[in-house]
Amino acid sequence: MDLRAGDSWGMLACLCTVLWHLPAVPALNRTGDPGPGPSIQKTYDLTRYLEHQLRSLAGTYLNYLGPPFNEPDFNPPRLSAEALPSATVNLDVWRSLNDRLRLAQNYQAYSHLLCYLRGLDRHAATAELRRSLGHFCTSLQGLLGSIAGVMAALGYPLPPQGAEPAWAPGPSHSDFLQKMDDFWLLKELQTWLWRSAKDFNRLKKKMQPSVPAVTLRLEVPASDL
Amino acid sequence: MMATPVLWACFVVLAAGVVAYAQRHSQQDTHVLYERLGSDVTLPCGTAAWDTAVTWRVNGTDLEAAHLNGSQLVLEGLDLSHSGHYACYQGSSWHLRYQALLHVGMPPREPVLTCRSNNYPKGFYCSWHLPAPTFIPNTFNVTVLHGSKLLGCEKDPAPKNRCHIRYTQLFSTVKYKVTLTVTNALGHNSTAIIFDEFTIVKPDPPENVVARPVPSSPRRLEVTWQTPSSWPDPESFPLKFFLRYRPLILDQWQHVELSDGTTHTITDAYAGKEYIIQVAAKDNEIGTWSDWSVAAHATPWTEEPRYLTTEAQAPETTTTTTTSFVPPPTTKICDPGEVGDGVGSSTGLLLTVTVTVTVTLTTIAATGLFI
């Protein structure tokens, strides 16, 4: 990663490194654990919660960026955002992913995205926006921990702490291009959350045997009717 | 030999004759004309001079001379009835000088285009229609852009205003842009829509919705349905369902959202009342709800009245899924406080009210709308 002079980028690099190592602590209490099922469910629920949170956050942030970013038909070509982890995948490839790879891809994607998101937080103007971003980052950190927990429960090693995120939009970026990067980051995040829901649903189905639905039945004695 | 020059002469004469014949008849090839509704058109009588005496015929019927300008036919303010076969004959020999098929129509207005994925993740289809008829043949051309990549949209043989696209990639951040161009002899028009992969997901309604009474349970109805057959992979892309039901006599629907399974038992049905039930489906995370399914009708089980000799029997109501007997209204005394068929104990009533979650039910019971 090309470190530029100035504290802010150094801090970003430091933060990203710290983040990279942080979720190594297993999040599960292993004593008498009922298997990875409940934690997969929890991870699934987290993706749904985050997706809901992102919807309002993205709406606010895109309005802050202003037109054309907040226009519904805005359909720009992807330029510098190739380094962003892409959720896009061939259907057959996605179907045939083994559990370890499926989890690893999710984990790596969110690690990168969280790092970039924290960079977004840095130059966000309004206090309200910074607060929303901060809240979202915390939730996303929770999701990372949850995925790490599932991987640990299944005995999979966490992805290697290899290449650090290479995407560092420097100060030489124009204001417009910076906004474009922000736009794509939010877009990719949204798509990953949709994909994760499908990923974790698939894992859930594989791990748990079909549980009969619990229905609350009122057994009123016949004489009462 | 001697025959050869004669043979050549014959050929020449024949060729000349064919050319002359062709020339004469080329004036009588049927022209095809497309003209705009409300406009004016002048049809010439082929190459005949303006002052030639001619007769015009429309679909075999002679036209009065009032429409003529010399040998030309003038049609003003075209309407649909002007469409037809026009022919011009010269002189008393009825020499056909000109014929044409006139089609009166309109250039196309901006078409209406919608795209939908009812078979996610396989692909999606786009369908279109014109908001107003053109009365003449139209051709439609659809182009699909995914980012900078051009995809082909496979046209359906029937219905012919629909085409299919297969997804090559899933979970794409790049939007799709579908452009439809409609062209006819009088003009062209186009429209385009832009959307994300996820926003157009809308399953077909659930199939085979069946509602059945539950024996010995006067307030229950068992509803079953199937996932739509067009949804290719319910295992990996599960659907959730929305069920709505009401007795025919009331307008207010009750709703239940179900995240799993294709069966549900209604436990708060009004005894003896025929119900209408519908189900809708949606992908668990993305897209929109399907349209409502075909309605199922059912009436909860009712006990056979024991005293058949003294009461007049009401005719048996026939519903699609039940054969329960509906007792005539005069045999029941309805208490506004009751929600059941028989007399309920206070505890039974309390339990029923607390378990029933919908506010509507308690409101209805309280206002005594129950007949």
> In angstroms, rounded to a whole number, what is the distance separating the alpha carbons of residues B137 and B295?
38
pLDDT digits (tens, 9 = 90+) for A11-28: 554 455 555 555 444 444
CA distance B191 to B112: 7
How close does chain B come to A10, measured CA to CA in Å?
A: 30
Q: Residue A178 half-sphere exposure, CB side, CA atoms within 13 Å?
A: 14
Task: Provide the pLDDT for residue B346.
Answer: 45
Question: What gap in Å lies between CA B68 and CA B289, rounded to an integer?
Answer: 62
What confidence score (pLDDT) does residue A195 get? 95
Higher pLDDT, B363 or A134: A134
pLDDT tens profile A83-97: 788 999 998 999 999
- Is residue B236 a contact partner of residue A97, using CB atoms and an 8 Å limit? no
Q: Is B68 helix (H, G, I), strand (E, B) or coil?
A: strand
* A 84-103 → B contacts, CB under 8 A: 86-91, 94-95
The string of pLDDT tens digits covering residues A50-87 is 999 999 999 999 998 888 998 988 888 877 656 788 99
* Interface membership of A201 toward B (CB under 8 Å): yes
Sheet of B41-43, strands arranged across: B41-43, B72-75, B68-69
The two domains B112-195 and B207-298 share their CATH topology (first three levels equal): yes
How high is the pLDDT of residue B294? Answer: 96
- Residue B211 has phi, psi (to 5 degrees) of -120, 135
CB contact under 8 A, A78 and B348: no
Chain B residues whose C-beta is within 8 A of a chain A C-beta are 121, 147-148, 167-175, 177, 194, 198, 216, 218-219, 235-238, 260-261, 265, 267, 271, 284-286, 340-342, 344-345, 347-349, 351-352, 355
Nearest Cα of chain A lies from the Cα of B318 at a distance, in angstroms, of 24
pLDDT band at A143 (very low <50, low <70, confident <90, very high): very high
Q: Under an 8 A CB cutoff, do B219 and A225 touch?
A: yes
For chain B, the domains span: 28-105, 112-195, 207-298
CA angle B265, B267, B270 (to 5 degrees): 125
Q: Which domains does chain A have, with CATH numbers?
A: 36-207 (1.20.1250.10)
| Residue in chain A nearest B354 by alpha carbon | A218
Q: Which residue of A has its CA nearest to B355?
A: A218
Nearest residue of B to residue A201, measured between CA atoms: B236
pLDDT at B336: 44
**pLDDT in the model for residue A80:** 63
Q: Say if the Cβ atoms of A90 and B169 lie within 8 Å.
A: yes
For chain B, which ranges sit under pLDDT 50? Answer: 311, 313-314, 316-324, 327, 331-362, 364-366, 368-371
Give the tens place of pLDDT for each residue, B19-72: 666 555 555 688 999 999 999 999 998 888 888 888 888 988 887 766 788 888
Interface of A with B in 62-81 (CB under 8 A): 73, 75, 77-78
pLDDT exceeds 70 at position A187? yes
In tens, the pLDDT along A198-218 reads 999 889 888 766 555 454 545
Q: What's the rounded Cα separation, in Å, for the pair A101 and A94? A: 10
Nearest to A220 among B198, B271, B348 (CB): B348
Chain A nearest-CA distance from B121, in A, is: 8
Q: Give chain A's mean pLDDT.
A: 77
A92-110: average pLDDT:
93
**Domain B112-195, architecture per CATH:** Sandwich (2.60)
Contact B284 A194 (CB under 8 A): no
Q: Which residues of B touch A220 (CB under 8 A)?
A: 348, 351-352
Question: Is 1.20.5.510 the CATH classification of the domain at B207-298?
Answer: no
CB contact under 8 A, A184 and B173: yes
- Mapping DSSP to helix (H, G, I), strand (E, B) and coil, where does residue A146 land? helix
pLDDT at A123: 67
Q: Provide the token pair at B237.
A: 């892309």
**Superfamily of domain B28-105, CATH level 4:** Immunoglobulins (2.60.40.10)
Q: Cβ of A198 and B236 within 8 Å?
A: yes
pLDDT for position B54: 86
Closest CA to B165 of B230, B121, B198, B110: B121
Contact A89 B173 (CB under 8 A): no
Chain B residues touching A75 at Cβ < 8 A: 174-175, 177, 194
A215 touches chain B (CB under 8 A): yes
What does pTM read for this prediction? 0.72
Percent of chain A with pLDDT over 90: 37
